[in-house]
Amino acid sequence: MPNPLTSKLSRSMFPSMSSDLSTTDSFLDAWASAELAGDAAALEPLLHERFRAVGPFGFLLDREQWLKRFADGLAYSAFSFSADEEAREVGGVTFVIGTQQQQGTYQGHRTDGAFRVSLALTGGPQWRLVGIHLSLRTPPTSPERQP
């Protein structure tokens, strides 16, 4: 049963991928669940060996740095992803644009916010995340607004 805090995708969002749709949904559910759980071991096989991430403030992380975030102090209390438009397949790479909403901390600092996320997946039906780009949709909670 899919985690209610994970992806909210529908078959209509992937019209050109009907045979691979269930594996795409499953991949996105597994990715979001691993992020929520802070489970680097579950996340590792989901990331392509050449994975790169661009964070909401422009920093770049490679695969090992992305996996190390949890050991370095990242912890989510809530994490969800929902697709905002249809996925597009171009030359064997599938692009999904959506919104990531999260509540959590990194090294004692709040990371709450909503982020526009662009995901690049390759290798279907055995999908791997090759890239992620996050940008602020709403700013993280500032210290003066925290309860």
Helix, strand counts (H, E) of the chain: 3, 8
Residue 6 domain-assigned? no
Q: Please give the tally of structural domains in the chain.
A: 1
Does the structure show a pLDDT above 90 at 7? no
Residue 82 domain-assigned? yes
What band does 76 get if pLDDT is binned at 50, 70 and 90? very high
Mean pLDDT of the chain: 83
Residue 145 domain-assigned? no
What band does 145 get if pLDDT is binned at 50, 70 and 90? low
Residue 102 domain-assigned? yes
What was the pLDDT predicted at 95?
A: 94
**CATH code assigned at 119:** 3.10.450.50
Residue 146 domain-assigned? no
What was the pLDDT predicted at 19?
A: 38
Q: What is the pLDDT of residues 24-72, one digit of tens each?
A: 778 889 999 999 999 999 999 999 999 999 999 999 999 999 999 999 9
35 CB burial (10 A radius; 0-12, 13-18, 19+): buried
Quote the pTM value. 0.79
What was the pLDDT predicted at 38?
A: 97
